[in-house]
Chains A and B, each alone.
Chain A
Amino acid sequence: MAAKKLRRAQLSQEMCERLSRYQITTCQDFLCLSLLELMKVTGQSYYEVQKLLCKVSRACAPKMQTAYEMKLRKSVSPSSAFLSTTLHSLDRVLHGGVPCGSLTEITSPPGCGKTQFCIMLSVLATLPVSMGGLDGAVIYIDTESAFSAERLIEIAASRFPTYFDSNEKLLCMTRSIHLYRELTCCCVLKRIMSLEEEIISKKVKLVIIDSVASVVRKEFDTKLQGNLAERSNFLTRGASVLKYLAEEFSIPV
């Protein structure tokens, strides 16, 4: 939205050309300038510039929805609001399970079972909706190389023996779990940025990142000057992209 070109914001052609001479090509550049600067750059009067501002703002402002519309939309498809973890007390506390459309964070000291939980969630997501799953693929971004495919098959076979009764079904399930091994921060960020297309093409219904902290702590030493800002920069950028993906596709992350 921010990188929307001014051309598509319905500004006139000559205005766009004039602005591009000052290197103002996107809505973001336009809205960052103050009124006086805009007057100088566009050569228009104060009132004209205000009208232009309104036009550009309308081009990139978000759409309005009332809370009632949101509630109606949610009540239309209630079952797809959560991914049940099949641990009844956990589901009760979470009001249904891992929520779709938002980020969920799992933290614990080492050895408590986070990776096991993630592997189990991957199995659950591939199950059909009738069994409480999401009937879709899973993207698993592994930074610690802790994912074990054999453990995956073990969990699937012993948890749902009636469903995974044949080797074919097991193989089919494993084929829909896409594993990416990323070992540095910028690789992780690049992978997150490229996720949008993968989600659409592979019909992904769950994204797991295991784990964010390990790769960040490896690379950023907080005692060094400036690293704190860079680290929070990286984290917030990744977080906002993941939030956008979760909301846009209504999948749990």
Chain B
Amino acid sequence: MQREVGTLPLAPALRARLAAAGFQTAQELLDTGPCGLSKEVGISREEALEALQVVRQECHGDAARTAGRSGATRKCTALELLEEEQTQGFIITFCSALDNILGGGVQLTKITEICGAPGVGKTQLCMQLAVDVQIPECFGGVAGEAVFIDTEGSFMVDRVVDIAAACVQHCHLIAEAQQEEDLRKALETFSLENILSHIYYFRCRDYTELLAQVYLLPEFLSEHSKVRLVVIDGIAFPFRHDFEDLSLRTRLLNGLAQQLIIIANDHRSAVVLTNQMTTRIGQSQSTLVPALGESWGHAATVRLIFHWDNSQRLATLYKSPSQKESTIAYHITSHGFRDVQPPAVTQSSGGTELNPRKRPRTEEEKQ
């Protein structure tokens, strides 16, 4: 109520006039009423009424926030957060080593960034996640839909078909091994057509389209409330060329990061970004570092770096608030993202398989 007039979200010209007329707090505005306001400030009665409605909305919003109801600033105890985090689902990647170092998989409500050299498997992982987010809950998935924003044009539908077919087959094997009724019922809706029709694909050609799409995302997500994953494949590509003004680029990227954090939290979905690598030329040697600069490093909560070691693909957890830094090897097969075959032969669910896949939850369910 004692809020200053200068902080209200009114048009700047109107604000200047109110300040010139001597109004200092919101309470004074509300006390004067629309007619008095229009006479003193010299604006029409309709404009005065609109301004008062905005003021009233703001003040009510303030009061609601201080009362602890949900708003822009939510207040809750750490215990509530703990309970929330424990019941939160993860999006598995079908590579159990990667799931392990991530603490279960890609977390919802967090931004995960995947950096890597070209050809190392970033888009493959994104396509795998877009399929995995749709796994029904009884199989250990999140049962959500996916939004795929592509800036590089590397989304291949045929590859997604392969990955989805392998995933469906895997779930069928589990259902047969377990012989439970609800598993079989869930499988009826988990078909190839369903998976493909729940991946919403946007092709952004430059950074303006990307910015526009991210502005429109909250609306899209409220219409499609089952979306649990937003993938932006290639956030570096549109920002790396045609930018003379680097400070503008930093500003746009920061704004983008903030909007993505809001989207991740409000809609309880995971945001996955892929980044390119750039060479940093040091004094005597050059190293590969993630692109888009140091300030972008703060945007993502979890950072994975994919790289090559001779012919083996490795993934390093570079930044994470809860897991420690470690490196694992992974494999990309015709079925998608998988573990590397361990040297000792272990029993897996389907007997002899061409691609050994170990899912931690399979073992738990079997037990």
Contact = CB atoms under 8 A, between A and B. Distances in A.
A46 to B, nearest CB: 3
A40 B242 CA distance: 27
Interface in B181-229: 193, 195-209, 211-213, 215-216, 219-220
Nearest to B153: A243
Interface in A43-66: 43-48, 53-54, 56-66
B206 A1 contact: yes
A240 interface: yes
B204 A62 contact: yes
A131 to B, nearest CB: 24
Contact of B157 (A44, A64, A67, A102): A67
Interface stretch (B7-15, B66-74, B260-268, B322-330): B7-15
Interface residues of B, number: 47
B242 A66 contact: no
Contacts of A46: 9
Given A34-B255, A62-B204, A236-B240, A54 B219 contact: yes
A60 B208 contact: yes
A63 B11 CA distance: 33
Contact of B216 (A58, A70, A71): A58
Contacts of B241: 232-233, 236-237, 240
B31 interface: no
B193 A68 contact: yes
Contacts of B161: 71
Contact of B12 (A27, A43, A65): A43
Q: Which of A28, A60, A62, A243 has the most CB of B within 10 A?
A: A62
B54 interface: yes
Nearest to A238: B241
Contact of B215 (A1, A28, A53): A53
B200 A57 contact: no
Nearest to B51: A45
A244 interface: yes
Nearest to B149: A62
Nearest to B211: A31
A39 interface: yes
A237 B240 CA distance: 9
Nearest to A246: B153
Nearest to A60: B212
A74 B11 contact: no
A66 B199 contact: yes
Given A27-B212, A237-B242, A240-B205, A45 B54 contact: yes
Contacts of A149: none
Contacts of A56: 212
A44 B197 contact: no
Nearest to A3: B208
Nearest to B164: A67
Contacts of B206: 1-2, 240
Contacts of B252: 32
A188 B134 CA distance: 45
A102 B154 CA distance: 8
A232 B206 CA distance: 16
Contacts of B130: 67
B251 interface: yes
Contacts of A47: 9, 54
A61 B160 contact: no
A135 interface: no
A60 B252 CA distance: 17
B1 to A, nearest CB: 20
A54 B215 contact: yes
B237 interface: yes
B180 interface: no
Given A1-B208, A45-B11, A67-B160, A57 B215 contact: yes
Interface in B28-58: 54
B208 A39 contact: no
A194 B60 CA distance: 57
A26 B272 CA distance: 30
B240 A66 contact: no
Contacts of B79: none
A182 interface: no
Contact of A71 (B14, B196, B213, B242): B196
Interface in A1-57: 1-2, 27-28, 31-32, 34, 39-40, 43-48, 53-54, 56-57
Contacts of B9: 45-47
Given A62-B213, A70-B157, A247-B153, A43 B208 contact: no
A178 B198 CA distance: 43
B196 A67 contact: yes
A253 to B, nearest CB: 11
Interface of A: 1-2, 27-28, 31-32, 34, 39-40, 43-48, 53-54, 56-71, 74, 95, 102, 232-233, 236-237, 240, 243-244, 246-247
10 contacts: A27-B212, A39-B12, A45-B9, A45-B10, A58-B212, A62-B202, A67-B199, A68-B193, A71-B157, A240-B205
Given A67-B196, A246-B153, 13 more contacts: A2-B208, A28-B208, A39-B11, A43-B13, A48-B11, A57-B213, A59-B212, A61-B209, A61-B215, A62-B203, A62-B204, A62-B209, A247-B203
